[in-house]
Amino acid sequence: MSLFITSLNSGSNGNCYYIGNEHEAVLVDAGISCRETEKRMLRLGLSIQKVKAIFISHEHSDHINGVPVLAKKHNIPVYITPGTLKHLRVNPGDYQIIHFIAYNPVVIGGLTITAFPKFHDAIEPHSFIISCKDITVGVFTDIGVACEHLISHFSKCHAAFLEANYDDEMLDNGGYPYHLKRRIRGGHGHLSNKQALELFVNYKPEFMSHLLLAHLSKNNNSPELVYELFNANANGTEVIVASRYEETPVYHIGQTDVIIGRAKQLAFNL
């Protein structure tokens, strides 16, 4: 069995990633509105009825803004840690809340979702791997440093959403105040292009078919720059830049070069 994946949105204005098989799916984060989530899934031919859970990586608004309406309207359980839950607006009975624990797999139909801690300036931040039989997809964004846990999980993925947030030179020369620049690159902020590329080059498994570069900074990165950088080192892996304005096509992980939805494109209008 294989997995279907897409980025519905990726960036500081909202993050939402879809991973599913033929029967069920999960969302990792829901940072765009319910209406936009529905519209983008509809354009891709994806059914919201297949979404059986939303997994929340951390409490920042660009990862949770759409949760209350989406979960209540479609009766979708929300998997979240107790610390992160304190920052999510929940009315009793609106939707089901389930706490997850790092390294304890959650089984939803044919999907197995496992969380592990990451370095980020949040209460209880986690990354996720989603597996269906022998196919594994990772969602690795909002990470300050590529720790041993990230390296270990990345090296097992057939596809991954990987943060490439900023270009060092653009950040240095940009207009952000010093304290914000320090936060971004301080070890609990975001991965730079250089850090993400080092992870990709040194630990990418030979069987990784797709890499979706995620959470690009609007002001401190360039889609063209990051695509060229990674594509030059891809060695057979298809590189896609996830947009902060629209969904990517749906990629079928486990079959060769199968894309569903909009025509295959590089979508540089991030």
The whole model's pTM is what? 0.93
Token code pair at residue 175: 């207009």
Query: What is the distance between the terminal CA atoms of the chain, rounded to a whole angstrom?
Result: 32
The pairing of beta strand 259-260 with beta strand 250-253: antiparallel
**pLDDT < 50 regions, the chain:** 256-258, 262-270
Domain architecture of the chain: domains with CATH: 3-260 (3.60.15.10)
Cα(211)–Cα(193) distance, rounded to whole angstroms? 13
173-189 pLDDT, tens digit each: 999 999 999 999 988 88
Reduced to 3 states (helix: H, G, I; strand: E, B; else coil), residue 98 is: strand
CB distance 142 to 58 below 8 Å: yes
Instruction: Output the pLDDT for position 51.
Output: 98
H and E: helices and strands count for the chain:
9, 15
Token code pair at residue 140: 């690795």
> How would you class 218 by CB atoms within 10 Å of its CB: exposed for 0-12, middle for 13-18, buried for 19 or more?
exposed
Instruction: Output the pLDDT for position 81.
Output: 96
Quick one: which H or E segment has residue 97?
strand 97-99
